[in-house]
Amino acid sequence: MTTVAAPITVAPTAPPIIRQAGWAVTDSLVMAKRNLLVWSRVPAYIVFTIVQPVMFVLMFRYVFGGAIHVPVKGGYVSYLMPGIIGQTGAFASMGTAISLAQEVQKGAIDRFRSMPIARSAVLAGRLIADVVRMLITIVIVVGIGYAVGFRFQNGVGGAVCMVLLATGFGLAVCCISAFTGLAIRDEESVQAFGLIWLFPLTFVSSAFVPIQTMPSWLQVFARNQPITLIINAMRSFALGGPVAHALWTSLASIAGVLIFFLPLAVRAYRRTS
Amino acid sequence: MGGNGTGQSILVEGLEKRFGDVHALRGIDFAVPRGSVLGLLGPNGAGKTTAVRILTTLLTPDGGRAVVEGFDVVRDAAAVRRLLGLAGQSAAIQEELTGRENLEIIGRLYHLGRAEAGRRADELLERFDLAPAAHRPAKTYSGGMQRRLDLAASLVAHPAVLFLDEPTTGLDPRGRSGMWEVIRELVAQGTTLLLTTQYLEEADELADQIVVIDQGAVIAAGTSEQLKSKVGGDVVEFTVPDASRLGDAVAAVAGLTDGDPFTDQETGKVSVSIGDRGSEALIEVVRRLDAAAVEIAGLSLRRPSLDDVFLALTGHAAEESAATPGPPRRRGRRARQEAGA
């Protein structure tokens, strides 16, 4: 009991800038570690993030796949996997909104704010954790894909580029999700409405079926919306084929989302107090 | 330690805060000498939490100033954050993680090294009787254990000033007395403490000085004894079991004192402030009730409690106004902070 008695105070003087920048990084990593630890402890989260995409792979491969004809080497499973992986990246963001809304609701974010930790750490830690979680899920989904007949046809470089693009896309959706979670702040509402727009956007794209099979009025939208562009680029990375156009447009749309929604998320975070 | 030599750890002057139409704080003043305990007492919506949120740098005041250990909470917010600890409604606890993991992570966020954070976590778990549960997820803890863990989290960095926002709200009596014991120990070690509570008993038990706030303004301040003396003497209390006779009972004893007797409709309890007339007044109460043919139960003469003080100061009981929220409630965090609970 000798060491705890005297209130030894942390020096109140401001530490140097470089030290503070270093802390901003370590604070974010500590927050990320905390978030991943929580994720690994809740079976429901694991089911939601990993089992669900695996179900999608199996369902589309074996249930719907037989009815969908694609002019792609390796058949439908080759066509499908980049789409599923893109969808996995996008849907991983659901957790971002829900967790942030939970933390606002129960006052955890306030508590962190009253501590001398980097202002950016809560948001950055959340995004880092979600990207890590997304990568784990993507690796598992690719593994399942291999088990059901999928093969990368464009070498290791292409495979890595595809995963990176999916992750970048997922991060962009996570920023939108972070904004909605912090703006709505109510867990149930976030769960119900937060990402409902993602469903039509991912299904009315080239992710699961060739766009040519859709009615012509829908094709106009499906062909030009960002998720199609991103999935097309991912598909070219995975299976070979011209990448350039789809890649630049998808990178531009990812950058656009980040530029627009990251500041919005930061602003919503500041306003939670 | 601090930047001022006045001996005041917390200084609040003319503090004001508005949320839209709600004037949550209407210029409050108080000071907390270093090493002492201030109880901020008031019903729900009085402005207690708003005051704590300003002092802990979470809200910016609209007027006045607040200083913690010599640092202005707006201009020197970063310095204030390095000095304060905040605990209350288990907000810092991540239920999926174990008690030890929770404290370790907080330690890391206070930039303790890995080993140091672990050592500090063990030390605090030991001190708050949580060591046997250290490796269990916090969601398996009782309410009292979660509050103790939350309090432990606020102490990781040895704060000079500790803010406890309604530390026992929602706890059962056992959990509450456990919390009180822990808080008393802390105070004995010289930590400056600001405590908000809606429980008069809690302020009475723990605080050196009490500031009573109601509807965003300080309506009284002083020691528990000083506040009690404001009521002016003893209280006769009795219960009317037959609710339909409550009105008659009140009418019978109304002429005894300057102020109106206080009645609690739910329990049928009536309290009459009788000044220094002691047993004489007690006999008079019995005589009058007998004349009115009102049957009573549990008649007593007692020293005034802080409940009586609150009643005398505000004209309503603490619990009564706690049950009737001021501004309309909306869902979520925003509603809570705007109500300034």
- Number of domains making up chain B: 2
B250 is a domain residue: yes
Taking an 8 Å cut-off on Cβ atoms, the answer to whether B105 and A106 are in contact is no
Task: Please state which of the ranges A81-85, A164-168, B244-248 shows the lowest mean pLDDT.
Answer: B244-248
Alpha helices (runs of H) in A43-75, residue ranges in sequence order: 43-46, 52-59
Give the model's pLDDT for residue A272. Answer: 76
Kindly report the backbone phi and psi dihedral angles of residue A204, in degrees, each rounded to the nearest multiple of 5, phi listed first.
-90, 65
Question: How far away is chain B from the Cα of A125, in angstroms, using its nearest Cα?
Answer: 12
Question: Which strands make up the sheet holding B234-239, listed edge to edge?
Answer: B262-264, B269-275, B234-239, B297-302
CB A177 within 8 A of CB A262: no
Q: How far apart are the C-alpha atoms of B78 and B100, rounded to whole Å? A: 27
A1, A8, A30 member nearest B108 (Cβ) = A30
B292 is a domain residue: yes
Rounded to the nearest integer, the mean pLDDT of chain B is 84
Rounded mean pLDDT of A173-183? 93
B30 is a domain residue: yes
Strand locations in chain B (E): 8-19, 22-33, 37-41, 63-68, 71-72, 84-87, 161-165, 192-197, 209-214, 217-222, 234-239, 262-264, 269-275, 297-302
A5, A106, A114 member nearest B81 (Cβ) = A114
Instruction: Please tell me which residue of chain B has the smallest CA distance to A45.
Output: B96
CATH number at residue B129: 3.40.50.300
Instruction: Give yes or no: residues B135 and B261 share one domain.
Output: no
Give the model's pLDDT for residue B190. Answer: 85
Count CA atoms closer than 13 A to A27's CA, side-chain side: 21
Domain around B201: 8-222
Q: How far is CA B65 from the centre of its chain?
A: 22
Instruction: Give yes or no: residues B75 and B96 share one domain.
Output: yes
Q: Angle A244-271/A226-239 helices, nearest 10 degrees?
A: 130
Instruction: Give yes or no: residues B237 and B135 share one domain.
Output: no
Q: Is B147 exposed, middle or buried (0-12, 13-18, 19+ CB in 10 A)?
A: buried
Instruction: Give yes or no: residues B179 and B281 share one domain.
Output: no
B61 is a domain residue: yes
% of chain B surpassing 90 pLDDT: 46
CATH number at residue B264: 3.30.70.920
- A116 touches B: beta carbon within 8 Å: yes
Give per-residue burial for A80-115: e unless 16+ CB within 10 Å, then b.
bbbbbbbbbbbbbbbbbbbbbbbbbbbbbbbbbbbb
Instruction: Give yes or no: residues B77 and B151 share one domain.
Output: yes
Taking an 8 Å cut-off on Cβ atoms, the answer to whether A3 and B69 are in contact is no
Instruction: Give yes or no: residues B157 and B257 share one domain.
Output: no
Rounded mean pLDDT of B179-183? 89
Q: Is B12 exposed, middle or buried (0-12, 13-18, 19+ CB in 10 A)?
A: buried
- Choose the final residue of a domain: B203, B222, B241: B222
Q: How far apart are the C-alpha atoms of B112 and B104, rounded to whole Å? A: 9
CB A133 within 8 A of CB A198: no
The pLDDT of residue A42 is above 60: yes
Give the model's pLDDT for residue B40. Answer: 94
The pLDDT of residue A2 is above 50: no
Q: Band of the pLDDT at B317, cuts 50, 70, 90? A: low
List residues in chain B touching A: CB distance below 8 A. 1-3, 53, 56-59, 69, 71, 78-79, 81-84, 86, 89, 91-92, 94, 96-97, 101, 105-106, 108-111, 123, 127, 137, 157-160, 189-191, 331-334
Longest CA pairwise span in chain A (Å) = 78
Question: How far away is chain A from the Cα of B231, in angstroms, using its nearest Cα?
Answer: 38
Question: How far away is chain B from the Cα of A215, in angstroms, using its nearest Cα?
Answer: 43
Question: How far away is chain A from the Cα of B105, in angstroms, using its nearest Cα?
Answer: 7
B329 is a domain residue: no
- Choose the final residue of a domain: B222, B244, B267: B222
Instruction: Give yes or no: residues B143 and B106 share one domain.
Output: yes
Instruction: Please tell me which residue of chain A has the smallest CA distance to B113.
Output: A26
Query: Which residues from A are below 8 Å from B92, CB to CB?
Result: 108, 111
B1 is a domain residue: no
The pLDDT of residue A143 is above 50: yes
Over residues B267-308, the pLDDT tens digits come to 888 888 777 777 788 888 888 888 888 888 888 888 777 777
Q: Band of the pLDDT at A176, cuts 50, 70, 90? A: very high
Q: Band of the pLDDT at B42, cuts 50, 70, 90? A: confident
B316 is a domain residue: no
Taking an 8 Å cut-off on Cβ atoms, the answer to whether B86 and A38 are in contact is no
Strand locations in chain A (E): none
The pLDDT of residue A142 is above 60: yes
Q: Band of the pLDDT at B145, cuts 50, 70, 90? A: very high
Task: Please state which of the ranges B101-110, B137-146, B269-278 shows the lowest mean pLDDT.
Answer: B269-278
Instruction: Give yes or no: residues B239 and B209 share one domain.
Output: no
Over residues A106-141, the pLDDT tens digits come to 888 889 999 999 888 999 999 999 999 999 999 999
DSSP symbol at B137: B
Question: How far away is chain A from the Cα of B162, in angstroms, using its nearest Cα?
Answer: 11
Instruction: Give yes or no: residues B208 and B121 share one domain.
Output: yes
Task: Please state which of the ranges A93-97, B37-41, B62-66 shows the lowest mean pLDDT.
Answer: A93-97
- A23 touches B: beta carbon within 8 Å: yes
Instruction: Please tell me which residue of chain A has the smallest CA distance to B52.
Output: A114
Q: How far apart are the C-alpha atoms of A3 and B103, rounded to whole Å? A: 17
CB B294 within 8 A of CB B252: yes
- A43 touches B: beta carbon within 8 Å: no
Count CA atoms closer than 13 A to B178's CA, side-chain side: 19
Q: How far is CA A196 from the centre of its chain?
A: 15
Give the model's pLDDT for residue B4. Answer: 46
Instruction: Give yes or no: residues B68 and B157 share one domain.
Output: yes
Q: How far is CA A109 from the centre of its chain?
A: 21
Q: How far apart are the C-alpha atoms of B278 and A156, rounded to whole Å? A: 93
The pLDDT of residue A67 is above 50: yes
A1, A3, A42 member nearest B96 (Cβ) = A42
Instruction: Give yes or no: residues B141 and B290 share one domain.
Output: no
pTM recorded for the entire structure: 0.81
The pLDDT of residue A6 is above 70: no
Q: Band of the pLDDT at A43, cuts 50, 70, 90? A: confident
B42 is a domain residue: yes
Sign of CA dihedral A232, A237, A243, A244: positive
The pLDDT of residue A145 is above 50: yes
Single out the residue of B331, B327, B261 nearest to residue B44, CA to CA: B327
Output A230-234 pairs: Cβ under 8 A, ≥24 positions apart.
A230/A86, A230/A165, A230/A169, A230/A254, A231/A82, A231/A83, A231/A86, A231/A205, A231/A206, A231/A207, A232/A206, A233/A165, A234/A82, A234/A85, A234/A86, A234/A162, A234/A165, A234/A166
Instruction: Give yes or no: residues B164 and B95 share one domain.
Output: yes
Taking an 8 Å cut-off on Cβ atoms, the answer to whether A185 and B333 are in contact is yes
Taking an 8 Å cut-off on Cβ atoms, the answer to whether B333 and A111 are in contact is no
Give the model's pLDDT for residue B28. Answer: 95
Beta bridge partners of residue B11, listed in sequence order: B31, B67
Q: How far apart are the C-alpha atoms of B83 and A5, rounded to whole Å? A: 16
Query: Both ends of chain B: CA-CA distance in Å?
Result: 32
CB A158 within 8 A of CB A244: no
Instruction: Please tell me which residue of chain A has the smallest CA distance to B71.
Output: A12
- Choose the final residue of a domain: B196, B222, B248: B222
Length of chain B: 341
Q: How far apart are the C-alpha atoms of B141 and B145, rounded to whole Å? A: 6
- A273 touches B: beta carbon within 8 Å: yes
Taking an 8 Å cut-off on Cβ atoms, the answer to whether B84 and A3 are in contact is no
Taking an 8 Å cut-off on Cβ atoms, the answer to whether A10 and B137 are in contact is no
Q: What three-state secondary structure class fits B133?
A: helix
Rounded mean pLDDT of B176-190? 88
DSSP symbol at B305: P
Give the model's pLDDT for residue B336. Answer: 39
CB A206 within 8 A of CB A225: no
Q: What three-state secondary structure class fits B9?
A: strand
